[in-house]
């Protein structure tokens, strides 16, 4: 797939010509295919991924309207929509006579579901795995504790159904992974606190990526799934008994076990 960063060196020399009004021409004169017709969400994902990967470092300028046409063949209306999307996520800033530049990472909305998906799509490395785990350790034990105080019988029924799915997944990692995510999502819902609901996107993306990376690194086995389900059952038991502290402790153990037995990954993205 053609990306904006991969075309960066060609921007200075490629322009539509009378003999080729349809699109950019490479240095050797050959017509280069572009990703014309992309929706603004796809272009935002491309540029957002380049920003997150470091291909477009903080302080660097984003493509101009003309360069956007060269890269994607899109209208000014689409370009404005892309810029609004990235600006809403805190990833870019625009100033008169200066242009649009990549913002400092401290301003990025890291918990935005799209930002998390863009970052996750770049691949999992050890630093990112640890960062995701740190976020989970900050959010999920507290959620389990609050769920023990606020849960309803319906909440417990949803948790039990998810736990049953974990126990019954056999050696199918996709089935286990889905049930696992449903279990953690049920705990967030049982807090009955909208601020925790907002954090669920980070939890869901983090858990999905960690589970998928583990699946690629280790063969699935029914015994491992049963062991993990038993650890999760301790969380459910504490929540059902309204034991807040025990629920938080059980959740902490589950999260740390996931990091302990997780895959060995590169220190950082290449």
> Would you state the pLDDT for residue 23?
36
Asked whether the predicted pLDDT for residue 225 surpasses 70, the reply is yes
Cα(85)–Cα(220) distance, integer angstroms: 39
| pLDDT: which is higher, 98 or 50 | 50
* Same-domain status, 127 and 251: yes
User: Where residue 60 sits, what CATH number does that domain have?
Assistant: 1.10.10.10
* Same-domain status, 61 and 168: no
* Same-domain status, 244 and 159: yes
pLDDT > 70 fraction of the chain, expressed in percent and rounded: 75
Domain count, the chain: 2
Nearby residues of 9 by Cβ (< 8 Å), 6 or more positions away: none
3-state secondary structure 2-31: CCCHHHHHHCCCCCCECCECCCCECCCCCE
* Same-domain status, 169 and 209: yes
Instruction: Look at residue 34 and give its three-state secondary structure.
Output: coil
> Would you state the pLDDT for residue 122?
85
Cα(49)–Cα(44) distance, integer angstroms: 8
* Same-domain status, 30 and 91: yes
Cα(82)–Cα(79) distance, integer angstroms: 5
Domain membership of residue 110 (yes or no) is no
Cα(158)–Cα(182) distance, integer angstroms: 8
Asked whether the predicted pLDDT for residue 185 surpasses 50, the reply is yes
Asked whether the predicted pLDDT for residue 238 surpasses 80, the reply is yes
Cα(32)–Cα(27) distance, integer angstroms: 10
Which range has the top average pLDDT, 56-65, 205-214, 230-239? 230-239
- Average pLDDT for 34-38: 46
> Would you state the pLDDT for residue 63?
86
Residue in the structure block whose two tokens are 């705990």:
187
pTM of the model: 0.70
Asked whether the predicted pLDDT for residue 120 surpasses 70, the reply is yes
**What does pLDDT average to over the chain?**
80
Name the band, by pLDDT with cuts 50, 70 and 90, for residue 17.
very low
* Same-domain status, 82 and 174: no
* Same-domain status, 98 and 163: no
Asked if 83 and 61 touch (Cβ cutoff 8 Å), the reply is no
Asked whether the predicted pLDDT for residue 263 surpasses 60, the reply is no
User: Where residue 174 sits, what CATH number does that domain have?
Assistant: 1.20.120.530
> Would you state the pLDDT for residue 207?
66
Name the band, by pLDDT with cuts 50, 70 and 90, for residue 261.
low
Asked whether the predicted pLDDT for residue 266 surpasses 90, the reply is no
Query: Which residues span the domain enclosing 225?
Result: 123-260
């Amino acid at each position: 797939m053609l990306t904006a960063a991969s075309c960066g060196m060609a921007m200075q020399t490629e322009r539509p010509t009378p003999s080729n009004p349809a699109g950019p021409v490479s240095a050797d004169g050959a017509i280069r295919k572009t990703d014309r017709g992309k929706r603004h969400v796809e272009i935002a994902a491309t540029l957002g991924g380049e920003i997150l990967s470091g291909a477009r470092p903080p302080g660097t300028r984003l493509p101009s309207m003309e360069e956007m046409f060269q890269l994607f063949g899109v209208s000014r209306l689409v370009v404005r929509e892309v810029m609004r999307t990235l600006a809403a996520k805190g990833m870019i800033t625009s100033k008169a006579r200066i242009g649009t530049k990549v913002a400092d990472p401290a301003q990025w909305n890291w918990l935005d579901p799209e930002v998390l998906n863009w970052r996750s799509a770049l691949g999992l490395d050890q630093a990112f795995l640890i960062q995701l785990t740190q976020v989970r350790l900050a959010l999920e034990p507290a959620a389990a504790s609050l769920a023990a105080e606020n849960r309803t019988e319906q909440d417990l029924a949803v948790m039990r159904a998810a736990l049953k799915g974990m126990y019954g997944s056999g050696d199918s990692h996709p089935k286990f992974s889905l049930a696992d995510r449903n279990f953690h999502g049920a705990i967030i819902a049982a807090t009955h606190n909208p601020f925790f609901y907002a954090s669920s996107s980070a939890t869901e993306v983090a858990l999905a990526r960690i589970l998928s990376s583990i699946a690629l690194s280790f063969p699935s086995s029914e015994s491992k799934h049963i062991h993990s389900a038993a650890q999760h059952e301790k969380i459910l038991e504490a929540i059902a008994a309204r034991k807040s502290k025990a629920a938080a402790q059980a959740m902490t153990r589950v999260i740390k076990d996931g990091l302990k037995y997780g895959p060995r990954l590169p220190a950082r993205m290449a």
